[in-house]
Amino acid sequence: MIVVGDLQPGKKLKIDGLRTLLEIGASPIREALSLLTSDQLVERIDQRGFRTAAVSRENFNDILSLRCTLEEMALRQSIANASEAWEDELVLSHHRMLRETRDHIEGFEARHKAFHMALLSASSSPLLLKLCSQLYDLNIRYRYLAGKSLNYTKRDVSSEHDNILRAALERNADQAAELLLSHYRKTGAFLTGLIATSEDTQG
């Protein structure tokens, strides 16, 4: 709900409110919020409860920058360790993403993440993969906040994805990394503009 934007950034998370909303006790909620705290999606304040992580352009650029560094690292490792099983999974996730794009826009985001994680999945570093996954979620949150309306799926991401896929399958790490980072920075620059307008809406 935080990622998708159902809960406003910087908003106070009243446990009692969530309790009735989710129809479960307070303990599981506290536990969930505690977990999300370390994922940077929830902030904890002294003895004043929890709130959703604030958003800002600085924070967004921070995420984007880290993401580029880590994903490039992971991608190069992944290509270096490439196996046939990895290839299969990559092609499969790519196809599923395309199919989902046509049929139900709903599941696209999940497929999109699956594809990007598949690119990195042959990396030998579990820690790195986990960080990339977390940063992906932090980043996607901004995309949702910028407005689900932005039909960014219609841009030219499709061909970008195709090119990344091709480079990866060709084991061309340099090109794949360049394309991937370009892909991120392009959407990043696009979102940065949108954030500027809605910057003051945070509590």
List residues near a second copy by CB under 8 A.
27, 30-31, 34-35, 37-40, 58-59, 62-63, 65-66, 69-70, 73, 124-128, 130-131
Q: Which residue has the tokens 């800002």?
A: 56
- The least CB distance from residue 100 to a second copy, in Å, is 29
The entry of DNA, a second copy, none that residue 184 binds, CB within 5 to 8 Å by partner kind: none
- The least CB distance from residue 125 to a second copy, in Å, is 5
Does position 20 bind DNA by CB under 7 A? no
- The least CB distance from residue 44 to DNA, in Å, is 7
- The least CB distance from residue 32 to DNA, in Å, is 9
Q: Which residue has the tokens 């992580």?
A: 53
Does position 50 bind DNA by CB under 7 A? yes
Binding mask 28-47 for DNA (x = CB under 7 A): x-xx------------x-xx
The entry of DNA, a second copy, none that residue 15 binds, CB within 5 to 8 Å by partner kind: DNA
- The least CB distance from residue 16 to DNA, in Å, is 5
Distance CA 84, CA 98 (A): 21
The entry of a second copy, DNA, none that residue 201 binds, CB within 5 to 8 Å by partner kind: none
Distance CA 170, CA 172 (A): 5
Indicate the angle between helix axes 157-169 and 57-80, nearest 10 degrees.
30
DSSP of 67-132, one letter per residue? Answer: HHHHHHHHHHHHHHT--HHHHHHHHHHHHHHHHHHHS-STTHHHHHHHHHHHHHTT-S-HHHHHHH
- Among 167, 160, 201, residue whose Cα is nearest residue 54: 201
- 50 touches 67 (CB < 8 A): no
Residues engaged in binding DNA (CB under 7 A): 12-16, 24-28, 30-31, 44, 46-50
